[in-house]
Structure 1
Amino acid sequence: MVGGPGTFDALELGLLQALQLDGRAALSRIARRLGASERTVGRRYSRLRTLGLRVVGQPVPARLGMTRWLLRIHCAPDSVGSVAQALARRPDTSWISLASGGTELYCALTTSTPHERDALLLEKLPRTPSVVGVGAHCLLRLFTGITSTWYASGIPFGPAQRDEDGVPVPASERPGHPGPLTLDATDRALLTELARDGRAGLPELATATGRSPSSVQRHLERLRTQGALGFSVDFSPRHLGYDLMTHLWLRVAPGEVSAAGRALATHPETAFAAATTGPHNLVATGVFRGAHDLHHYLDHRIGSLPGIQAVETAPILREVKRLTAGT
């Protein structure tokens, strides 16, 4: 029996997991995997949507010749909200959070050209009077994959190479491709529509792109199989009792960054982990039930990672923008 808005049974947790493995999986296939009727799974999916569940299509920057950045922006106390909202309106920002003492913003964005990068980092932000300081960190390698958004309660919500049906999961930035994938007008239109609704049907996508459903299907399969498109499950971990999200900045000994990053990505608390430039060469976001769990994690899990020299924590006070992809 399903309880109130904050209560979830095994079927709903299984549905969230299945969507994390493949955001566009048909509800009929998910129902077969979960041993339930399609009608029942459809009702649970509708309930989760009323609680804010979204599946968002996101381009994979590394496959499209783009560069991902993580900004730490220090603002005057009375202007942090207006700066955050201005950044949230930009199509190149994917998420923005307010952390620390309420004067520091964390902003993830993607740039396609050096001109785009310089326009924001060297011109726009430095000329904003209420911005006190900016730290720009280039993300060098993602360890959790573009579609890892959160984990919970022992359920492995992270990326997988294939699901149990043998279907490839286009969640990671896959190595071995010869170069950036070139997009045409149909690809770009698809990415725009999927950023709004990652589960939009072929008829809707065909209408949006002006192409036939079969053409849309071919473009969609190409983007996925080439590792240029991933799908994120956006569902607040607070619904499951995880009330504390924290940015972690780690300084790791040279030669140990990849080992520490790979180990960090296996932790069920880790929603995001990447190697980065700057004084801290590994950055992560963790999801916890409360302060006690965070302390235990830092003391027992982070401390056991190879080569850890220092850790800085910055609890997230408010999420201003979540998982809005720009192309």
Structure 2
Amino acid sequence: MNMKSDSSHQRWDELDHQLLHALENDGRAPFSRIAAHLGVSDQTIARRYRRLVADIGLRVVVVTDAERLGQTWVLRLRCAPDAADALSKALARRPDTAWIALTSGGTEVVCAIRFRTRGEHEEMILGKLPKTPSIMEIRAHQVLWRFFGGSNSWLAKRLPQVAEAFPAGPEPTSPAPEPISTEDEPLVATLEENGRATLAELRRATGHSESVVRHRLDRLLASGALYIDVQYDQTILGDTTRAILWITAAPAALDQVGRALATHPEVTFAGATAGSCNLMAFIVCRDSTTMYRYLSTTLGSLEGIQHIETAPVLRLVKQLTYDEHAPAAQ
């Protein structure tokens, strides 16, 4: 995953931001529809899209919503400093890891894993990881509820002016996600690699007609079993400082604090967790001074918070996908 994090963010203009927002709202929208909403030509959108792919690692992928199924766990693995890099890369090669970061002076690997079954998470947390010599401590947090993240558009919070340029996609309409069957796996696997794969490409991958593929994909998206996610280097906006917050809130204030976090422009993910804390959030800020102001004022003013642990992210190793031959994300 090739992500560049220099001062070149100033070259990106409003149209780039609007295109990213449009993709966050509907990652499979045809360029013609995006162009029509933004008042430019199809060719302009295609050209801008290719530039964003090349320069900031833009990728559109379809993701199984394991958090809605209660099957996402965030693991905090404390290890020796000289082992953290190798451990993070080994975990990044696993297809079930969603994102991985190095924090706390390079001695902690934080990893989100999407398990499909109860047996899988027990095997990993109780079996494989404790047998890894370099791991000195394991803290496991199950994500119980997502307040912000997934298909939500972070850019619309960060740049409210872009929110009116392209309408938000429909919310899931079913009370429970549509089960993903064995027959769906070729469809899902193809979209995990390229969320904008054409119907013709999906027909070849699945062996089903384009109408069948379209109907099945629409059902999975509408039920919330799948969602479309957009991956790119958020330093395009000049936000170069990242941190993971481990928050303990009074039980009666848990939902209120989580919903407040979801509105903060700095927050790219917020969820309720089971474990040593009951909330976690991933934040991005312009610099350390901005982060201090956020922690001491915006977050500090929320009633019900009892404790906050701030873990600065030294390096983002994986964000949905991982290329071991590409430079690590900074």
Q: Does the TM-score normalized on the shorter chain lie above 0.5?
A: yes
1:92 counterpart = 2:96: yes
- 1:94-243 map, 5 Å: 94-148=98-152, 150-151=154-155, 154-156=158-160, 167-170=169-172, 176-177=175-176, 181-243=178-240
- CA deviations over 1:220-249 (Å, ceiling 9, x no partner): 101011111111111111232111111011
Mapped partners of 1:150, 1:105: distance in 2: 24
2:77–2:139: 8 Å Cα contact kept in structure 1?
Answer: yes
**Matching of residue 37 in structure 1 with residue 36 in structure 2:** no
Kept in 1, the 8 Å contact 2:21–2:153? The answer is no
Aligned to 1:58: 63
What percent of counterpart residues are identical? 44
1:5 offset after TM fit, Å? 6.6
- CA distance in 2 between partners of 1:201 and 1:95 (Å): 26
Q: CA deviation at 1:266?
A: 0.7
Q: CA deviation at 1:279?
A: 2.4
- CA distance in 2 between partners of 1:291 and 1:175 (Å): 42
1:22 is the counterpart of 2:22: no
In the alignment, the residues of structure 2 paired with residue 312 and residue 141 of structure 1 have an alpha-carbon distance, to the nearest angstrom, of: 20
Deviates more, 1:82-91 or 1:181-190: 181-190
1:78 counterpart = 2:82 = yes
2:187 maps to a residue whose letter is: L
Residues 62 and 220 of structure 1: is their aligned pair in 2 closer, same or farther, counting only changes over 3 Å? same
State the one-letter code of the partner of 1:187: D
Instruction: String of CA shifts for 1:143-191, please: whole Å, max 9, x gaps.
Output: 0142347548842599x9x996574145xxx7733xx532223422111
Conserved? CA contact 1:84–1:320, under 8 Å: yes
Residue 298 in structure 1 maps to residue 295 in structure 2: yes
Task: Flag the 1:23–1:59 CA change in 2: closer, same or farther, 3 A.
Answer: same
> Could you list the runs of 5+ residues in structure 2 that have no partner in the other structure?
1-6, 323-330
Change (3 A) 1:164 1:17: closer
Look up the equivalent residue of 2:98 and give its one-letter code. S
The one-letter code of the counterpart of 1:106 is V
**What amino acid sits opposite 1:39 in the alignment?**
Q
Contact 1:21 1:157 (8 Å CA) reproduced: no
Which is helix-richer, 1 or 2? Answer: 2
CA distance in structure 1 between the aligned counterparts of 2:241 and 2:174, rounded to whole angstroms: 33
Q: Is the 8 A contact 1:144 1:273 kept in 2?
A: yes
Q: In 2, Cα distance between the equivalents of 1:212 and 1:22?
A: 23
Cα RMSD of the aligned pairs, angstroms, is 2.5
On the 8 A contact 1:56/1:194 being kept in 2, the answer is yes
Distance in 1 (alpha carbons) for counterparts of 2:84 and 2:179? 38
Match of residue 266, structure 1, among 241, 263, 267 = 263
Count of residues paired in the alignment: 315
Map residues 270-281 of structure 1 onto 2, 5 A cutoff: 270-281=267-278
Q: How far off its partner does 1:90 sit?
A: 1.3
- Find the residue that maps to 1:143 and give its secondary structure: strand
User: CA 1:118–1:163 in 2, change beyond 3 Å: closer, same or farther?
Assistant: farther
TM normalised by structure 1 equals 0.90
Q: Does 1:244 align with 2:241?
A: yes
Contact 2:141–2:276 (Cα < 8 Å) also in 1: no
Tell me the secondary structure at the aligned position of residue 82 of structure 2.
coil
- Greater Cα shift, 146-155 or 125-134: 146-155
Gaps of 5+ in 1: none
Q: How far has the Cα of 1:306 moved from its partner?
A: 2.7
* C-alpha distance 181-62 of structure 1, shift in aligned 2 (>3 A): farther
Contact residue 21 and residue 169 of structure 1 kept, 8 A? no
| 8 Å contact kept, 2:37–2:165 | no
Amino acid at match of 2:114: T
Q: Name the amino acid aligned to 2:31.
A: L
Asked if 2 retains the 8 angstrom alpha-carbon contact of 1:17 and 1:157, the reply is: no
